[in-house]
Amino acid sequence: MRYLEIRRHSMRVKPGQHLSQEGVDLARRIGSEIGPFEFVITSSLHRAYETAIAMGFAVNDQLEELSYLGHGIEAEVAWDAGFAAFAAAYRQAGVTTAFVAQQAGLWRMMAEPITDGGSALVITHGGIVEAGAVGCLPNVDHAAWGPGVSYCEGVRLHFDGENFVDVDILRIPS
């Protein structure tokens, strides 16, 4: 089995693009509890890159495709609506359907080079985590996954070399 861990970035002071000290502290704590990873990929936005660095991991690549929800998606589903809402929007055959499929394809390409028993880390954003996870496992009970992910939360997808076969929802205890 191979594991692709997808996490939302840590806290920032809005509207700023950089992590707050509280966000750095959270990322450091989470980073000390996870890994190792064969490679780390982040979105192209500062807060995602800074989260990986604060976690203690070098970044191998940054992808624009992990940076923004697609155009028109928020007319179909709010970015913070959660897994079940993204699954419902996915089934409507609109712009969310295409975005969810695009993310799932991208995540599959990232999972393929992971060695058996290995893991990789992706740091992205709220809404993108939920959309991609739904696309990777479209035929499960997404409501059971709970609400959308908060800072540094995410999913760990199990990849058998051909398909995503299971998921662990990664929550941060309060």
Instruction: State which residues of the chain have pLDDT below 50.
Output: none
C-alpha 43, offset from chain centre: 10
pLDDT value, residue 15: 87
Q: What is the CATH number of the domain that holds 26?
A: 3.40.50.1240
pLDDT value, residue 95: 97
pLDDT value, residue 70: 86
Cβ count near 72 (within 10 Å): 12
3-state secondary structure of 133: helix
SS3 content of the chain, % helix, strand, coil (to 5): 35, 20, 45
pLDDT value, residue 174: 74
Question: What tokens does 172 get?
Answer: 């941060």
Which residues 6+ apart lie within 8 Å of 59 measured at CB?
40, 41, 42, 49, 52, 53
Residue 138, H or E segment:
none
Number of domains making up the chain? 1
* Domain interval for residue 11: 2-170
